[in-house]
Amino acid sequence: MKLTGAQILIKMIKSQGVDTIFGYPGGAVIDIYDELASNPDLRHILVRHEQGAIHAADAYSRAKGDIGVALVTSGPGATNAVTGIASAYMDSIPIVVFTGQVNSSLIGNDAFQEVDIVGITRPCTKHNYLVKKIENLARIIKEAFFIARSGRPGPVLVDLPKDVMTATIEFEEPPEVHIKSYRPTYSPNKKQLAKVVQLINKAKRPIIFSGGGVVLSKASEEITDLAKMANIPVTASLMGLGTFPASHPLWLGMPGMHGTFRANMSIGECDLMIAAGVRFDDRVTGRLEKFAPKAKIVQIDIDPTSIHKNVSVDCPIVGDCKKSLALLNQMMKRQIDQASVDARSEWIETIENWKSTMPLGYNQNEEIIKPQFVIETLHELTQGKAIITTEVGQNQMWTAQYYGFDRPNHFITSGGLGVMGFGLPAAIGAKAACPDKTVIDIAGDGSIQMNIQEMTTSLEARLPVKVVILNNRYLGMVRQWQDLFYDKRYASTNMECAPDFVKLAEAYGATGLRASKPSEVRETLKQGLATEGTVVMDFIVEREEMVYPMVPAGKSLSEMLLV
């Protein structure tokens, strides 16, 4: 049967189990959109900016634990997508992005809306393709999904010239994917795991450091089992929050620049760190030469290039986190030294002392709303079960500190790239993946304005999300740095010239609510959560509240600024 390129594209996307695409049309992809109209079983969610499409696909992937797909046009449509692609790349999120391209004969001629998106995205994609012949189209699409999902996941871009989409060919099902130079290692080396068992049995002050790789490999159960079995406290990176329940006594909180006192002190004093699915980025390690100075470090990661990249490790394990931890747990059950486990009570008591003497804290008076109070109340009202997305800045850090995630795939944020404007389209993508879940974007008044046009997407697609704005009329995190390190010279961070978010929500057709006093917080949240449809809740918070603890840039984790 002869099919056009556009028909082959849609057929192959559906063959991968995809039922939702986020996108924005344009001239170079008009044939694809025409074909989409004939495939109502493939839901297309029309965003209002291409960046929003990529963030939505990213969050769809994280919430559903599967792949996200986006479709944009050539030129500016493609370049608008780059920030979202780079964010997904930094956080190892499996998405496939299809971009339109001018006719093959015009490539390189500076044609209208022509851009070399393959060249532009080469450093921020796991792989990318320019489809030059319709004969290669089906195979390339199948490979794109395979590469995005397998090994260390990541974004794959497929650039589609317009003439390839309109050409016809006799369709043949492509063979199974076999890429000679690409064979990820899933199964760990058992001899290396045996060394880990010995290290655990000898350790007096061990900790587990869980990261986004544990979420991606669906290994939260395995890492929780290991912690409970061996009585080992657990910390998790921003991307790893939810991999170990925050309500468990062994939970240390997040480490790093805005980590808890007990997490950072534990890293400084531990004699063994079992790190799974983490990349030791600078916001976590602080001054590298002072990071975990007394510890033997075990690093488990499916990507061999991540091991030893930032931190030298004593026992590398190349393999899938879930498979590696499951096998390690089996070996531990047979060889565990119970006396060693029991002897860790002194280490646990030390950590409890750090926790009780230096907890996270803030002072809520009767006059001005503290942002932390809003998040703690939100956690209480949602029983910690909502999917939370964030923007980037203070709102992101307070959410990580105060929401208390007990489940994986419930905290969705732009961790590596730190994209302002991520939260709202991400909430829409998460709601599309999990329609029965309450999805909430916790935002700042600055960051929400970067992609606020996606309010229309939420309403049109009937994907109701709740938006909690912590409105301090500042770019809060930059202002915090200016306060601490630039003699309070608040250069260009004052955001007092801002829209009325309640009226703005109503202009979009959503519900707008506002709380200006602490006594109004609970009722506003209850009303917003109970109201059908998309709701914006504007909380007028303390203008110069700080995120503490804070480790200044270049300092070790033990050199924290405290409240």
Active site residues per annotation: 50, 112-113, 162, 477
Q: How many Å apart are CA 310 and CA 119, to the nearest integer?
A: 27
Q: Give me the residues paired with residue 70 across strands.
A: 22, 97
Per-residue CA distances from 145 to 18, 309, 452 (Å): 10, 27, 30
- What does DSSP assign to residue 132? -
Q: In whole angstroms, what is the distance from residue 237 CA to residue 209 CA?
A: 7
Q: Which two tokens stand for residue 68?
A: 């996200």
Residue 318's closest CA among 282, 273, 277? 277
**H or E segment to which residue 528 belongs:** helix 518-530
DSSP letter (8 states) at residue 174: P
- Cα-flanking dihedrals φ and ψ of residue 44, to 5°? -110, 125
Q: Beta 2-4 vs 234-236: how paired, if at all? A: unpaired
- The two beta strands, 43-46 and 95-101, are unpaired
Q: Extract the tokens encoding 262.
A: 């007990």
Token pair recorded at residue 78:
């493609």
Strands, E, within 271-334: which ranges? Answer: 272-276, 296-301, 315-318
CB 72 within 8 A of CB 98: yes
